[in-house]
Chain A
């Protein structure tokens, strides 16, 4: 009953695990304005100090840049060997995370938190290594420069003109347990620079020289000081507010950051993060996917995706809003989520058009008067135009066909209109052209529809407006007709294309919901983990177009593929990565910060009680997985699968418990019955034997013989009881392995009859066994036991001298063996009860049975896949029959020519 009363060992393990979780390492950051202020120096000084106090300090990786005063500080510290990674002909020294985890120092020094690891490392970034070390309970000292803080990256870039690509997420910085600002006045720093005490990579000497201008240094120093001050401020506030920060945040502001497809999307996100941070507000990054934006080239769309991912990393909630109009969608969502501020990027409307086009700002300001609007500027870094026409709106073939359709529609309308020209009003002909525009818009979309509008108006003018076959117009009033016609055509185009898009979005959405619904429905019907795996693999393939695998843990928590291979199942997942994911309950692989280079995305299957496994999938198209909606859908899928696995697990646990209870009950009744059945003969044995030993002289020879016979009878009874109970127990525990072989049935029956030998004396036994088939498949020992028990039963319950008939025949159902007697027959209701354990029919005198013989028969027959029953014969007597299904073909033996023995 381990599941009702928790196993103490398991409880202890759980407590220890939780303790380990609670005991994550402390992160201390030595924070400076720029290189050369002495962060590494400060870190090493402190390391020496704590070492002097007897703390186990180890250097994981430290970059001294061969500065003498820094190198001196390394003396006496244990230095972990670095991991050498070959990269483009050079050897790179990387922090050896596994060695550090194995060494487990109290404090590990890891310089340059923003460092990017060599390709092929476990994590792309060093701060991720550090997170793992912290999670393992190791304290870490590290260093960070202000320009490496993600949200300050832009600002520093603008100040200094140099951008760095190695950044640390603000979250990591903010969650550090301690930040020590290493400050050096700018003049001193410049002095150090002059003395050559600041490390300068030669290849970047010029840029670096630019960087170390006094103005820059002052600005950087201010940034660093301010960032630290912000942190101190936040800490003070947290302290005042107690631990209820999240509650307070709920009441505070909510910021909506609108991410557009423009080049400065990431800048907007970073600015949003800074703002949200300073306001201590929750923030949501949203992308409105309008029909126009959906037609953007792939490169720009993936930039949006990148920006959204960045926002997620920076701690934002993200959403993609499908909508006709950016303003509508933003305004609606802002209302829905109760946002108090909306951050947008500066519109990149060409200066010439500015007087004519209202900016997003203007329209939005009108729509949401109560909400603050913030426009984030910043120079737009002109990235090389993403391979210009390369991927404009879908495959060229379909586009081309759309335009052909447009042209054909106009030609067709013209052909229809020409003969009608004398008969119908010219305005109605214009209607025909408009009709063609509608049809083209519905069928081929916006571009062809615009083309149809223009060509249509032109054709209308050329063919249908007098003078014919010229663009000249006799009546200037027609110019108005053309204008109106064009406007109407374009409006129709716009509306129809919008509708098409909305319909598509709705269809997508419906498909998502339906796929989720279908999978949930199928999962709810699944009874085993294997079924769940099959359903999951099938649906993930259908929805995400990715072969996938569900990896399940064994009893020791080691992941493995479930048995059997399902179609479309992924077989190349890396079990060690999956194990990592399972142990840490974090996603890894493609699209994450851990082992992103594998091409396979690993997702933990988290259920309410614990993680149930790992879903690994290899998407053909990353977009199908990493668009926020799809990602959420995937997470929901994972949650559903995990829930189903957990449900099945608990069902199994419940069944096992029930089974245990049943067997417990059985054991109790068995014990009760056996103890009674054993005591009676034991009492007789003891009595009879003691008479023989103690009163030998006084007993007559007849009495002595009588007592000896009693002892023999009772001993035989006990022997029978014991072997029956043992047989029963072996059958029930499943310890009996069926040894099915091909036997002649008469041999099986014959063996039983000759074994019973003397006991059958005085009985007529008629054996009637059909000759065909020659061989039947069964376990001869066990079936022999069944026949023995049945005969035994007949011997016990039928009067001496009455005959026993044994018959065997094969029909469609299988082999049928019957044993019939001429005894008193079965009492009412006994047909079923005789097979129950310890059921004994009343007998007139004589030793009753143990009450297990027929139960054993039933167990053996059922183990063969057959069934057994009892019935009364039409004329006097009872009949016991059993059927054993026969499936295989009996083996053939080549007939042998009869030769006469002896040969010559």
Chain B
């Protein structure tokens, strides 16, 4: 590890979870700072110059979504939300507020580490401003507006292309229905989620080998879509 250790700020009120992550994360090369409350967490995130924030939604002093919103007032640092299962609306609210990803409790270490890595990679790629996405046979070049599947050109409608481009720009990140609708169709269409589903189905037909078991364009039930990164 020649690079400086990435700084993780964990905002979580459950001591057991903190204890568990305290044993695991430093082992994998992260510098961990803990906060028990939302307020404390906001301070820690600023003071420690966090590279990524892991945030529990159920905090004693303030709503986790509110923490995301306050963070987004000044920083684009990745925020990974920890949520208990069966709270799709909470997840959506957190993502809409600007969170990058979510991990459902209970979670395995492997999964969390993978999400952390993905978030950090996305953050550095955003800085580079990469314009090309490649995953297996799929290659998308945003600068050239080209979509290639197994080296042959795929023809898309303007909306299909816009939708795919948004997903590519946030590859690996879960985008909520609302975010996608707003970016592709505009703010007045955020309630028309069936538009999104129909165009997503069309995209899958053109890009996926088996649309019923997609490889690239993944559905997050009740939340939104994600473009899988290799």
A741-758 residues with Cβ-Cβ distance < 8 A to B are 741-744, 746-755
Determine which of B145, B198, B199, B221 lies in contact with A903 in the assembled complex, contact meaning CB atoms within 8 Å.
B145
Is A891 an interface residue when CB atoms closer than 8 A count as contact? yes
Closest Cβ neighbor of A745 among chain B residues: B212
Is A900 an interface residue when CB atoms closer than 8 A count as contact? yes
Is A680 an interface residue when CB atoms closer than 8 A count as contact? no
Docked CA distance A24–B201 (Å): 78
> Shortest Cβ distance from B175 into chain A, in angstroms?
15
> Shortest Cβ distance from B161 into chain A, in angstroms?
5
Q: Which of A742, A744, A749, A901 has the most chain B CB atoms inside 10 A of its CB?
A: A901
| Number of B residues with CB within 8 Å of any CB on chain A | 34
> Shortest Cβ distance from B143 into chain A, in angstroms?
10
| A744-B201 in contact (CB<8A) | yes
Determine which of B86, B147, B198, B213 lies in contact with A893 in the assembled complex, contact meaning CB atoms within 8 Å.
B198
| B221-A781 in contact (CB<8A) | yes
| B158-A896 in contact (CB<8A) | yes
| B212-A746 in contact (CB<8A) | yes
Contacts of B50 in A (CB 8 A): none
Closest Cβ neighbor of A788 among chain B residues: B221
| B198-A775 in contact (CB<8A) | yes
> Shortest Cβ distance from B151 into chain A, in angstroms?
16
Contacts of A897 in B (CB 8 A): 157
| B194-A901 in contact (CB<8A) | no
A687-726 residues with Cβ-Cβ distance < 8 A to B are 715, 719, 723, 726
| A754-B197 in contact (CB<8A) | no
> Shortest Cβ distance from B7 into chain A, in angstroms?
30
Contacts of A753 in B (CB 8 A): 212-213
* Known contacts A723-B85, A901-B154; A784 and B211 CB within 8 A of each other: no
Docked CA distance A252–B160 (Å): 100
Determine which of A730, A893, A900, A901 lies in contact with B195 in the assembled complex, contact meaning CB atoms within 8 Å.
A893
Docked CA distance A671–B156 (Å): 56
| B212-A774 in contact (CB<8A) | no
Contacts of A893 in B (CB 8 A): 194-195, 198-199
| A754-B213 in contact (CB<8A) | yes
Is B230 an interface residue when CB atoms closer than 8 A count as contact? no
Determine which of B144, B155, B211 lies in contact with A746 in the assembled complex, contact meaning CB atoms within 8 Å.
B211
* Known contacts A726-B86, A781-B88; A902 and B145 CB within 8 A of each other: yes
Contacts of B158 in A (CB 8 A): 896, 899
| B106-A747 in contact (CB<8A) | no
* Known contacts A775-B194, A891-B194, A893-B195; A901 and B212 CB within 8 A of each other: no
Is B62 an interface residue when CB atoms closer than 8 A count as contact? no
Determine which of B147, B157, B219 lies in contact with A751 in the assembled complex, contact meaning CB atoms within 8 Å.
B219
Is A493 an interface residue when CB atoms closer than 8 A count as contact? no
> Shortest Cβ distance from A152 into chain B, in angstroms?
78
| B221-A780 in contact (CB<8A) | yes
Is A483 an interface residue when CB atoms closer than 8 A count as contact? no
Contacts of A769 in B (CB 8 A): 212
Closest Cβ neighbor of A806 among chain B residues: B212
B99-146 residues with Cβ-Cβ distance < 8 A to A are 106, 144-146
| A775-B197 in contact (CB<8A) | yes
| B212-A750 in contact (CB<8A) | yes
Determine which of A719, A730, A749 lies in contact with B212 in the assembled complex, contact meaning CB atoms within 8 Å.
A749
| B198-A744 in contact (CB<8A) | yes
Is B218 an interface residue when CB atoms closer than 8 A count as contact? yes
> Shortest Cβ distance from A354 into chain B, in angstroms?
94
| B212-A767 in contact (CB<8A) | yes
Docked CA distance A744–B193 (Å): 12
Contacts of A166 in B (CB 8 A): none
Determine which of B88, B155, B201, B212 lies in contact with A900 in the assembled complex, contact meaning CB atoms within 8 Å.
B155
| B221-A902 in contact (CB<8A) | no
Docked CA distance A781–B220 (Å): 9
| A896-B146 in contact (CB<8A) | no
Contacts of A784 in B (CB 8 A): 221-222
Is A424 an interface residue when CB atoms closer than 8 A count as contact? no
| A750-B145 in contact (CB<8A) | no
Contacts of B193 in A (CB 8 A): 741
Is A389 an interface residue when CB atoms closer than 8 A count as contact? no
* Known contacts A742-B194, A747-B200, A774-B198; A899 and B157 CB within 8 A of each other: yes
Q: Convert A757-773 into 0s and 1s, putting 1 for each residue whose CB lies closer than 8 angstroms to a CB of B.
A: 00000000101010000
| A754-B214 in contact (CB<8A) | yes
B78-97 residues with Cβ-Cβ distance < 8 A to A are 85-86, 88
* Known contacts A730-B86, A741-B193, A901-B147; A754 and B219 CB within 8 A of each other: yes
> Shortest Cβ distance from B14 into chain A, in angstroms?
15
Interface residues on A, range: 35 or more
Docked CA distance A614–B82 (Å): 56
> Shortest Cβ distance from A42 into chain B, in angstroms?
73
Contacts of B222 in A (CB 8 A): 739, 780-781, 784
Contacts of A744 in B (CB 8 A): 197-198, 200-201
Contacts of B150 in A (CB 8 A): none
| A901-B213 in contact (CB<8A) | no
Determine which of A723, A890, A896, A902 lies in contact with B157 in the assembled complex, contact meaning CB atoms within 8 Å.
A896
| B201-A896 in contact (CB<8A) | no
B206-230 residues with Cβ-Cβ distance < 8 A to A are 211-214, 218-222
Docked CA distance A723–B106 (Å): 10
Contacts of A903 in B (CB 8 A): 145
Docked CA distance A744–B225 (Å): 14
| B155-A750 in contact (CB<8A) | no
> Shortest Cβ distance from B92 into chain A, in angstroms?
11
B177-201 residues with Cβ-Cβ distance < 8 A to A are 193-195, 197-201
Closest Cβ neighbor of B198 among chain A residues: A893
Docked CA distance A781–B104 (Å): 15
| B155-A898 in contact (CB<8A) | yes
* Known contacts A723-B86, A774-B198; A750 and B157 CB within 8 A of each other: no
> Shortest Cβ distance from A749 into chain B, in angstroms?
6
Docked CA distance A727–B147 (Å): 42
* Known contacts A719-B106, A767-B213; A898 and B221 CB within 8 A of each other: no
Is B17 an interface residue when CB atoms closer than 8 A count as contact? no
Contacts of B220 in A (CB 8 A): 751
Docked CA distance A899–B154 (Å): 11
Docked CA distance A421–B61 (Å): 117
Docked CA distance A668–B214 (Å): 44
A849-904 residues with Cβ-Cβ distance < 8 A to B are 890-891, 893, 896-903
Docked CA distance A902–B162 (Å): 12
* Known contacts A726-B86, A901-B156; A715 and B106 CB within 8 A of each other: yes
| B219-A902 in contact (CB<8A) | no
* Known contacts A747-B219, A753-B213, A901-B146; A741 and B106 CB within 8 A of each other: no
Contacts of A730 in B (CB 8 A): 86
* Known contacts A719-B106, A780-B221; A743 and B197 CB within 8 A of each other: yes
Contacts of B195 in A (CB 8 A): 893
Docked CA distance A784–B222 (Å): 9
Contacts of B144 in A (CB 8 A): 902
> Shortest Cβ distance from B209 into chain A, in angstroms?
12
Report 30 cross-chain contacts, Cβ distance below 8 Å, ordered by A residue.
Answer: A723-B85, A739-B222, A741-B194, A742-B194, A743-B197, A744-B197, A744-B198, A744-B201, A746-B212, A747-B201, A747-B204, A747-B219, A748-B221, A751-B218, A751-B219, A754-B218, A755-B221, A765-B213, A767-B212, A774-B201, A781-B88, A781-B222, A896-B157, A897-B157, A898-B155, A898-B157, A900-B155, A901-B154, A901-B155, A902-B146
Interface pairs A-B: 6 shortest CB-CB: A902-B145, A751-B219, A781-B222, A742-B194, A896-B157, A767-B212
Other than the known A750-B214, A765-B213, what 20 A-B pairs have Cβ atoms closer than 8 Å? A719-B106, A723-B86, A730-B86, A741-B193, A741-B194, A743-B194, A746-B212, A747-B200, A747-B219, A753-B213, A754-B214, A754-B218, A774-B198, A775-B194, A775-B198, A893-B194, A901-B145, A901-B146, A902-B144, A902-B146
Interfacial residues, chain A to chain B (CB-CB below 8 A): 715, 719, 723, 726-727, 730, 739, 741-744, 746-755, 765, 767, 769, 774-775, 780-781, 784, 890-891, 893, 896-903
